Structure 1
Amino acid sequence: MSVRLRFAPSPTGYLHIGGLRTALYDFLYAKGHDGKYILRIEDTDQTRYVEGAVENLISSLTWAGIVHDEGVFIENGKIVQKGEFGPYIQSERLDIYKKYIQILLDKGYAYYCFCTKERLDEVREKQRAEGKTPMYDRHCRNMSKEEVQNRIDAGQEYVIRLVVPDNKDITWTDPVKGQITINSSEVDDQVLIKSDGFPTYHFAVVIDDHLMGITHAVRGEEWLTSTPKQKLLYDYFGFEMPQFIHLPTVLNKDRKKLSKRQGDVATSDFKDKGYLPEALVNYLALVGWSPKDNKELLSMDELIAEFDFDRVSKTGGIFDVDKLNFINNHYIKESDAKRIAEIAVPSIVKAGLMTEEQTKDRFDWIVLVTDALKERLNYVSEIVSHMNIFFGDTVTFETDEAEAIVKQEHVKGLLEAFIAELDAIDDIDEEFTKNIFNILKKKTGAKGKNLFMPVRCAVTGQQHGPDMGKILIALGKEKTINRLKELVTRL
């Protein structure tokens, strides 16, 4: 049997970074085993549906390079479905669920429940008061077929529940968690079909995974307690159960579940900040999994070749932003300056440094600035905090020490010699920047820090910063001369 994995998010908002990791692991395992990776949309809870969420999910996954083989796609702005096992949107599969729930009812593995919300609340409250785990008390479980039909005919609202056997050990093996046994006494008579006719997650996922030939069901460990209910359903139907794999939770540095209150958690947040998809994917793969050689920098192809569930940790993976920044900085440095500049433009406009029209007219200049700054960036939007040195014809000193450096006795002559060299060329190019300091050394006798530091401070106002050659190229001849001349008049 060929390997088939699915990522099945609910369209209730943004794609959480934990969801992205689940999708990534699905994708890596499927591709590494010549299998298929499917995207299914689980929208049975219509009350939580968010307009545009499907588009956002697919956009985020596509940006990350996690592209599915079949399922739900966006083409020309429209949602389309491709594959032999559709529909891939649960709300379009209601007739299928009706067929299978009837099988359970006929076999006595499911039953109608007419209990009101008020009664259920009262039962649960009493159980809590007695120190018990709130569970359905099976009030409707042994109702006769005649009474059931009379209530349905009378228009009474109902749900359909799962028949859970008494005192039965339910056992399965998880590649990450090992062998797990949960007694049925801890399992509720789960609602399978809600009063609105829609299936619950627990029912729909079993039917869908079976009909779509899913071989591995990968999800967060918070769903571990759902597995006994689903195993019962597989047994009742006589279906072969997929390999259930429960991933450790993605945690923050405090070892608590990632929360939006404590920072970015949406994939789109990281995209908007200017994290590169290959960096985020590389890092996220390591949050709860490690390759055999503990290598930290891996391409998607290397991840596909290396990934397996037997090296997934049993405990929660720590999402360390500092480590992500380190990896992202590596990928930014390795990237073409034009690509990084394109990513940077929205942040430059948002910061008010340039208008959108100016970024189009002066994009080549932005590429030069980006080339000078990209080695200093943890994420691309940080560029706006470093760009001030490229604006204006006068220099503002970052520190008193930087100002003191250019006020040294020999500096005025050094800057005048620099101006003379600039006057003699058409514009600053790479050859000029390679030779200029040797020329100034011969002309003025200044060397080492007495040469390099005054020039840097005079041109940028800073003692430390990006490569001076790249700064000079980005500034250009005219702006550099204007800065130096203005400063010389003050010395």
Structure 2
Amino acid sequence: MTKKVRVRFAPSPTGPLHIGGVRTALFNYLFAKKNGGDFILRIEDTDQNRYVEGAEDYIAASLNWCGIPFDEGIGKDKGFGPYRQSERKHLYKNYADQLIENGMAYYAFDTAEELDAHRKEHEKNGKTFIYNWHNRQKLKNSLSLPPEDVQTRLRAGEDYVIRFKSPQDESLKLKDIVRGEITVDTNILDDKVLFKSDGMPTYHLANIVDDHLMEITHVIRGEEWLPSLALHVLLYRAFGWDSPQFAHLPLILKPTGKGKLSKRDGDKLGFPVFPLEWKDPASGDVSRGYREEGYFPEAVVNFLALLGWNPGTDQEIFSKEELIRAFDLERVHKSGARFDPEKIKWFNHHYLQEKDDNILSAAFGELLQQKGIDTALPLPKIVSLVKERATFIADLWEQTSFFFEAPSSYNEKAVKKQWKEKTADIIKQLIPVLENVTDFSSATTEETVKTWIGENGFGFGQVMPPLRLALVGEMKGPHIFDITEILGKEESIARIRKAIDTLG
């Protein structure tokens, strides 16, 4: 019988969730949903020195905002909890002891100073110090010391670590869904620390035990964990457990240059690298977030899905449901994916165009309120006229501010070009024409004004650009008679009079 697919996203609460972490969570989520499985959030907080207040809540809030909520985790216990490693620490010692009993691990009493001295000695001779098969018998551990000495040290409460006993002279064949078969010579592996005398496991032991107890079937994680794959597979073997399948995702690379994307790149080039705004509890520094910068979650998710994965077609726009149907780990790339800040804007522009005008106008209305603007103007209509030129809700203000605030000044370049010697006289003659229009709709006003222009022998260039300048203050905005309809007769004429008075 096939096991139910169970995947986990297991971040450490050491700060805000990086956009690379969001992509790892997304790929786990898509894989789980595609296969009718469960997506689990586990908090790996064994390193209490690096724990940051608020980071755990931030992680959950980020996943919820992106629309990829976890099925199981803190507050959603499905019988596999607790989901914080710090609350599971009573479990790990038994497993460490089990490895010692079956000869797969050993106690090591070497102090930090002693190990440091060994390292320096090796460096002096141009070598790298590795604690493993070739020197473990010469170091201070339960493999080299007499059993009674080991027991005396343990009873005395001497500090120790439990190290994994890596096998010697073996060619280990590992399978990775993304990278295929990998062969590792076990002679180059070090005897990693699994457990410390302070009662806390290291990441490696806790990770394996938790994945086993939570019945994780697939471990989908970043390629920075690839060097740990051999140890993790060996630990499964040492316990006599079935190993999950592994898939290591490619790095997200800087927009330019070498190396992986960092907060510094975002700061330098002016884009966020975190899903939500983050305020550092220690320094008070605020880091920008995609939500606060005006990005839609579906744009962020669509963009991230195509970083290091492709559907095998030219399709770029995917709903979440389409992503779930199309997603396949076999189509994840091996090489790093370059982050493109312009491409994510392109996605945001697309999703803004797709949104209903009423939804956009509600968000725009909130922005106007923040600016202290209370208006009775038809926001959905205004939004529909300008949204094509907008990427963010904030752009709607740049495109429409003149609707809510009459021009207090006029663009100098435009005045020079459009407001000629006879302009004020011509525009003055337009006022009674507008006053006599009973139906001030866009179509009627346009027909009336164009007829008047023709009958009086004026050129359109003598009337239309100066009219726009009077209403808007510069040469921008939608169709001129859509503007007059929204402003209304009284306001339109008031603005024309003001331009005549100001520009003469």
TM-score for the superposition, normalised by structure 1: 0.88
Structure 1 contact 248–288 (Cα < 8 Å) conserved: yes
Give 1:266's match in structure 2, choosing from 274, 288, 296: 274
Return the offset for 1:468: 4.5
- For residues 398 and 345 of structure 1, what CA distance do their matches in structure 2 show? 27
Aligned length: 473
SS at match of 1:272: coil
Matched, 1:233 2:235: yes
CA distance, structure 1, for counterparts of residue 482 and residue 198 of structure 2 = 64
Q: Distance in 2 between matches of 1:442 and 1:410?
A: 18
1:384 CA displacement: 5.1
For the pair 1:457 / 2:469, whether they are aligned, the reply is: yes
SS in 2 for 1:271: coil
CA RMSD of aligned residues (A): 2.7
Classify 1:454/1:271 alpha carbon distance in 2 versus 1 (closer, same or farther; 3 Å): same
Counterpart check, 1:289 vs 2:292: no
The corresponding residue for 2:354 is: 334
Is the contact made by 2:437 and 2:445 (CA closer than 8 Å) also made in structure 1?
A: no
Structure 1 residue 15: Cα displacement:
1.2
Q: Structure 2 counterpart of 1:485, which letter?
A: R
1:438 aligned residue? 447
CA gap of 1:2–1:418, structure 2 versus 1, over 3 A, is: farther
Q: Secondary structure at the match of 1:93?
A: helix
- Which of 334, 340, 358 is the aligned partner of 1:314? 334
Structure 1 unaligned blocks of 5 or more:
73-79
Contact persistence 2:433–2:449 (CA under 8 A): no
Please tell me the residue identity of whatever aligns with 2:417.
A
Deviation at 1:172, TM superposition (A): 1.1
Give me the whole-angstrom Cα distance separating, in 2, the residues matched to 1:323 and 1:484.
Answer: 42
CA distance in 1, matches of 2:201, 2:49: 13
Find the counterpart in structure 1 of residue 148 from structure 2.
Answer: 146
Q: For residues 260 and 443 of structure 1, do their structure 2 counterparts lie closer, same or farther at Cα, with a shift above 3 Å needed?
A: same
TM alignment of 1:91-240, pairs within 5 A: 91-136=86-131, 138=136, 139=139, 140=141, 142=143, 143-240=145-242
Correspondences of 1:264-413 after superposition (within 5 Å):
264-268=272-276, 269-341=289-361, 343=363, 354=371, 358=372, 361-362=374-375, 370-383=383-396, 385-386=398-399, 388-407=401-420, 409-410=422-423, 412-413=425-426
Give the residue type in structure 1 aligned to 2:449.
L
Paired position in structure 2 for 1:89: 84
Question: What displacement does 1:20 show?
Answer: 0.6
- Deviation of 1:186 after TM superposition, in Å, equals 2.3
CA gap 1:189/1:385 in 2 versus in 1, 3 angstroms: farther
Q: Could you tell me whether the CA contact under 8 Å between 1:368 and 1:470 is conserved in 2?
A: no
Q: Residues 190 and 442 from structure 1, CA distance in 2 versus in 1: closer, same or farther, beyond 3 angstroms?
A: same
1:28-59, Cα deviation, whole Å (9 max, x unpaired): 11111111111111111111111111111111
CA distance in structure 2 between the partners assigned to 1:291 and 1:447 by the alignment: 55
* Larger-gyration structure (1/2): 2
Q: State the TM-score, normalized to the length of structure 2.
A: 0.86
1:23 to 13, 22, 25: 25
2:414 partner letter: E
Match of 2:495 among 477, 483, 488: 483
TM-superposition CA deviations, 1:409-452 (whole Å, max 9, x none) = 356534652675267569x7xxx123322221012225665554
For the structure 1 residues 450 and 125, does the alpha-carbon distance in structure 2 shift closer, same or farther, using more than 3 Å as the test? farther
Task: Show the counterpart of 1:75.
Answer: none
2:223 and 2:251 in contact (8 A); partners too:
yes
Partner amino acid, structure 2, of 1:130: N
Identity %: 40
Deviations 1:91-139 (A, max 9, x none): 1111221221121111111112222222222222333343334433532
Alpha-carbon distance between aligned partners in 1 of 2:265 and 2:120, rounded to the nearest angstrom: 33
- The SS at the match of 1:6 is strand
Q: For residues 471 and 225 of structure 1, do their structure 2 counterparts lie closer, same or farther at Cα, with a shift above 3 Å needed?
A: farther
Does the CA contact (< 8 Å) of 2:453 and 2:460 recur in 1? no
What whole-Å deviation, never above 9, does each CA across 1:223-272 have from its counterpart, x for those lacking one?
Answer: 10011110110000111111110110011222431111121211111111
Kindly tell me: are residues 171 and 38 of structure 1, through their superposed partners in 2, closer, same or farther at Cα, counting changes over 3 Å?
same
> Does residue 1:67 correspond to 2:37, yes or no?
no
Q: Which amino acid aligns with 2:247?
A: I
Aligned to 2:279: none
| 1:421 paired residue number | 434
More displaced stretch, 118-127 vs 45-54: 118-127
Q: CA deviation at 1:177?
A: 1.1
- C-alpha change, 1:86 and 1:391, in structure 2 (3 Å) is same
Shift of 1:381: 3.8
Q: What is the one-letter code of the residue matched to 2:179?
A: K
Q: Which letter maps to 2:262?
A: S
Contact residue 416 and residue 488 of structure 1 kept, 8 A: no
Residue 284 of structure 2 corresponds to none
Shift of 1:183: 1.3
Q: Letter of the 2:451 partner, please give it.
A: K
Where in structure 2 are there 5+ consecutive unaligned residues? 267-271, 277-288
1:39 aligns with 2:19: no
Q: What's the counterpart of residue 76 of structure 1?
A: none
> Equivalents in 2 of 1:56, 1:474: separation in Å?
43
User: How far has the Cα of 1:181 moved from its partner?
Assistant: 1.2
**Could you tell me how far apart the structure 2 residues matched to 1:285 and 1:408 are?**
58
